[in-house]
A and B are shown apart, each in its own frame.
Chain A
Amino acid sequence: MISKHRVVTGVILDEQTELTVSDLCRSCSVRREKIMALVEEGILTPATQKPDDAYTFSGSSVKRAKRALKLQRELELDLSGVAVALELLEEIERLRSALRLYEETRGLLRE
Chain B
Amino acid sequence: MQYKDYYKTLGVDQDATQDQIKQAYRRLARKYHPDVSKEKDAEEQFKAVGEAYEVLKDPEKRAAYDQLGNQWQAGQEFHPPPNWDAGFEFSGDDASVFSDFFESLFGRARRPSSGFAAHGRDHHAKVMIDLEDAYTGATRQISLNVPYVDETGHVRTRERTLNVRIPKGVQQGQQVRLSGQGDPGVGQGKAGDLYLEIEFRPHALYRAKGRDVYLDLPVAPWELALGAQVRVPTPAGKVEMSIPASSQSGSKLRLAGKGIPGKTSGDLYVILQCVVPPAKTDQERQIYEDMEREMAFNPRQRLNV
Interface residues of A, Cβ cutoff 8 Å to B: 1-3, 5-14, 16, 26-27, 29, 59-60, 62-63, 67, 70-71, 74-76, 85, 89, 93, 97, 100-101, 104-105, 108-109
A95 to chain B, nearest CB (A): 13
Q: How far is the CB of B192 from chain A (nearest CB, A)?
A: 9
| B26, A76: Cβ atoms closer than 8 Å | yes
Q: Which A residues lie within 8 Å of B164 (CB)? A: 7-10
On whether the beta carbons of B263 and A8 are closer than 8 Å, the reply is no
Interface-lining segment among B71-79, B170-178, B228-236, B286-294:
B170-178
Given contacts A5-B163, A75-B36, 14 further A-B contacts (CB under 8 A): A3-B141, A5-B162, A7-B163, A10-B164, A10-B194, A12-B176, A13-B174, A60-B174, A74-B33, A76-B26, A76-B29, A97-B209, A105-B216, A105-B271
Report the Cα distance A109→B46, complex, angstroms.
41
Nearest B residue to A4, CB-CB? B163
CA distance A9 to B248 in the complex (A): 45
**CB-based contact B263/A11 at 8 Å:** no
12 A-B pairs with CB atoms under 8 Å apart are A2-B163, A7-B139, A7-B165, A10-B177, A10-B196, A11-B178, A12-B170, A27-B177, A27-B193, A75-B26, A85-B36, A105-B271
Given A3-B161, A9-B167, A16-B263, residue A70 in contact with residue B216 (CB < 8 A): no
A57 vs B187: C-alpha distance when bound (angstroms): 30
Q: From residue A6, how far is it (CB to closest CB) to chain B in Å?
A: 7
> Is A13 within 8 A of B35, CB to CB?
no
- B119 interfacial by beta-carbon distance below 8 Å: yes
Report the Cα distance A67→B271, complex, angstroms. Answer: 35
Instruction: Return chain B residues, CB-CB under 8 Å to A89.
Output: 35-36
- Given the interface pairs A5-B141, A62-B175, A109-B273, the reply to whether A10 lies near B166 with Cβ below 8 Å is yes
B29→A12 contact, CB < 8 A:
no
Complex Cα distance A59/B25, Å?
Answer: 33
Contact: A6 with B163, CB < 8 Å?
yes
Which residue of the partner chain, among B167, B170, B175, contacts A63 with CB atoms under 8 Å?
B175
Q: Which residues of A contact B139 (CB under 8 A)?
A: 2, 7
CA–CA, A76 and B161, complex, Å: 35
Chain B 91-106 near chain A by CB (<8 Å), digits 1 or 0: 0000000000000000
| B274 nearest CB neighbor, chain A only | A109
Centre residue among A3, A8, A71 by max chain B CB count within 10 A: A8
Residues of A within 8 A of B35 (CB): 67, 70-71, 89
CB-CB under 8 A from A100, the residues of chain B are 207
- In the assembled complex, the CB of A22 is this many whole angstroms from the nearest CB of chain B, namely 13
Contact between A74 and B163, CB atoms less than 8 A apart: no
B177 in contact with A11 (CB, 8 Å): yes
> How far is the CB of B127 from the nearest CB of chain A, in Å?
10
Q: Is B85 an interface residue (CB 8 A)?
A: no
A97 vs B178: C-alpha distance in the bound complex, in angstroms? Answer: 27
Other-chain contact of A12, B50, B174, B202 (Cβ < 8 Å):
B174
Nearest-CB residue, chain A, relative to B171: A14
Residue of B nearest to A76 (CB): B26
Chain B contacts for A6, CB-based, 8 A: 162-163
Give A26 to B191 CA distance when docked, in angstroms: 11
Closest to B216 in A: A108
What residues of chain A lie closer than 8 Å to B177, measured between beta carbons?
Answer: 10-11, 13, 27, 62
Any chain A CB within 8 A of the CB of B30? Answer: yes
Whole-angstrom distance from the CB of A26 to the nearest CB of chain B? 7
A98 and B193 alpha carbons, distance in the complex (Å): 32
Flag whether B14 is at the interface (Cβ < 8 A).
no
Query: For residue A63, which residues in chain B have a CB less than 8 angstroms away from its CB?
Result: 175, 197
B169 within 8 A of A: yes
A88 to B126, CA, bound (A): 22
CA A101 to CA B194, docked complex, whole Å = 30
B179 touches A11 (CB 8 A): yes
